[in-house]
Amino acid sequence: MIDIRLVREDTDKVKKSLQNRGVDPSLVDALLQLDFEARTKATRRDELRAQVNSISKEIAQVMRSGMKDSAETLKEKSREIGSQLTAAEAEALSAEDRRREALLELPNLPSDDTPVGSGEQDNVIVRWWTPELGMQEGSEVVLPDYQEYQRKPHWEIGSELRILDLERAAKISGSMFPMFRGLGATLERALTSFALDAHSDAFEEIRPPTLVRTATMISTGHLPKFEEDAYRLERDDLYAIPTAEVPLTSLAKDEILSEQDLPVRMTAFTSCFRREAGSAGRDTRGLLRLHEFDKVEILAYTTPDQAGEMHAELLGRAERLLQQLGLTYRVLDLCTGDLGNSSKRTFDLEAYSPGTGLWLEVSSVSWFGDFQARRANIRYRALESKEIEFVHTLNGSALAWARIWAVIVETYRKSDSSVVIPEVLRPYMRNVEKISLD
């Protein structure tokens, strides 16, 4: 949630920042009008409260003096003002709710370093990596010399090796739900253990609930903006999480942390659920776009000064996993028009899928500033000033497994139709070296 004080004090900058995201700047004017109404009604409420308190003190003095008639007159006046106060309190609360609703509808303000653009075509490729060439700067990616047998899509490879059973998954749950079998399921599990172990040096492993309250979804910015993409259990008023970011962000909801305890680092493996309501058949073959998938998330609370270094750390961790898996990838700096609703700045990691000829997003690493912390009321007490401030939140996928699984089986496919297991995963797969029909 944007700081309303910033909207009041630097309206033009807020308008320009939101306009760069494709948001109508007139929404800021509407917000300011709601803010004016809320403050006006709050002032009226406070004035009436002060009058009631003042009269109460006066009544006490009059009663001590034995002036009962005067006391009754004052009591009647207090009742009249009290009735006005009840109405004023309701009006103030309603105005504050309308202002909060308007704030919840607005996305975060992009950082000054975020490229300005209208959509994904304006994202900036900052670097790329291949096993042969290592890390390279710039946007001109030189792909490895993939062989024809590597250009078979993962859904065909999976079916051929009997490690991916999309047909039976659809029979059980409908389309866009995967089912891994045999060593395919083992590979999925191995990826999770590999990633959690990779982050265990500095991140606390957490297994959070998969179902969360409405307020928890609001805290990260997934509600009210993305209601249509969420799975909701109406009877219990709970939501299936779209990412572990949702429960991890609210872990310290309504708490005040100490600056000496920051940064807080957390990692979690969960299943993730998304309706993909707006996909309309786009990229829905195989594992490209799913209603349910597994992911390991890394997330941090920081002070504002720690945020930049933490953003680089989260991105570096996700990149190292891709390098250890030997997968070609590129790093995109998302432009203002393609940023997620809550993000100030985001880097996406896209792995190349030789079987589909597509770059697949496998990680998104974002800095949210205090946008989410304001919604969740997560604060910290500064060591020197003792002032209470909002933390900054950051998170990253490290990594999303369905697409990684797909890229692995395509990249590591051999001419005999087998799939070689990356060396780093073999200890998690009972030392299996390849998947074949033999």
Give the domains, in start order, of the chain with CATH numbers: 4-105 (1.10.287.40), 120-435 (3.30.930.10)
pLDDT of residue 350: 98
Q: Are 270 and 246 in contact (CB under 8 A)?
A: no
Strands (E) across 280-418 are located at 292-302, 329-333, 345-353, 358-367, 379-381, 388-390, 392-400
pLDDT of residue 313: 98
| Burial 28-38, CB ≥16 within 10 A → b, else e | beebbebbebb
How many CA atoms within 13 Å lie on the side-chain side of 218?
Answer: 16
pTM of the model: 0.93
Q: What is the pLDDT of residues 153-182, one digit of tens each?
A: 999 999 999 999 999 999 999 999 999 999
Q: What is the pLDDT of residues 276-286, one digit of tens each?
A: 876 656 677 99
Q: Which residue has the tokens 């697949």?
A: 360
**The 231-233 sheet, strands edge to edge:** 211-213, 238-240, 231-233
Sequence letter at residue 398: A
pLDDT of residue 279: 62
3-state secondary structure of 387: coil
- Give every residue of the chain whose pLDDT is below 50, as ranges: none
pLDDT of residue 74: 86
pLDDT of residue 188: 97
The tokens describing 363, both together, are 């990680």
